[in-house]
Amino acid sequence: MFGVDDVQNATSAAVTNPPGLGNFKFGKLVIFDDPMTIDKNFQSEPVARAQGFYFYDMKNDYNAWFAYTLVFNSTQHKGTLNIMGADLMMVQSRDLSVVGGTGDFFMSRGIVTFETDTFEGAKYFRVKMDIKLYECY
């Protein structure tokens, strides 16, 4: 239910609060462990988990910097993808870098394109990720 803190089902937590410099949460740090699905259905089995952090790093607009790992542990894929970069939240589509991986994704490089799928104030948002991996020699 919107507007209610659901601790039992929470997948992220703020570990610092904004210091009050501007109106865009500048300085707030959030740790997350989110299930990743291939569709928008909340009942779908997760194909991976996104584990990492982001912090708000702009004083005059909403902007965050992400560093996280997609952890795959299924019959289809095992391993990790490491992703980091700036999330310019007010832009429709934005790219972050795939900077490495393990297991099935050993030494991966590529781009993850973010699009905000939905949001409900500061309590909930969902991001669509399109991952493109490139062969590196």
SS3 at position 7: helix
Q: Which helix (H) or strand (E) holds 51?
A: strand 48-56
Give residue-wise pLDDT tens across range 35-85: 898 887 777 888 999 999 999 999 888 899 999 999 998 888 999 999 999
pLDDT band for position 121 (cuts 50, 70, 90): low
User: Nearest 5°: CA angle at 85, between 80 and 86?
Assistant: 145
Structure tokens at 26: 């500048």
Residue 122 has pLDDT above 70, yes or no: no
SS3 at position 9: helix
Residue 101 has pLDDT above 70, yes or no: yes
How are strands ordered across the β-sheet holding 93-103? 12-16, 29-36, 48-56, 64-73, 78-87, 93-103, 109-120, 124-134
What residue spans define the domains of the chain? 7-134
